Amino acid sequence: METLENILLTTKRLELDEARREIRKIVRVTGMSADKVLAGLDDERQALFADLYGR
């Protein structure tokens, strides 16, 4: 059986990693739990959608 080894090199930060960093920063600065920060994301997403698309 042949196994393939791959490596991904990028000079650009990956979006998911950047999101994790931002969430950690918010948790650290505000003292809120990660669950509480994440719970507010859906409301923010809906508000942003309404602002952008008028719905």
Q: Could you report the per-residue pLDDT of 12-38, keeping only the tens digit for each?
A: 777 888 888 988 898 899 998 888 888
d(CA 19, CA 51): 22
d(CA 34, CA 21): 12
Which pLDDT score, from 0 to 100, does residue 36 have?
85
Q: Is 55's pLDDT higher than 80?
A: no
Which pLDDT score, from 0 to 100, does residue 14 have?
78
The whole-model pTM stands at: 0.49
Q: What is the dihedral of CA 35, 38, 39, 45, to 10 degrees?
A: 180
DSSP string, 11-51: SSPPHHHHHHHHHHHHHHHH---HHHHHHTHHHHHHHHHHH
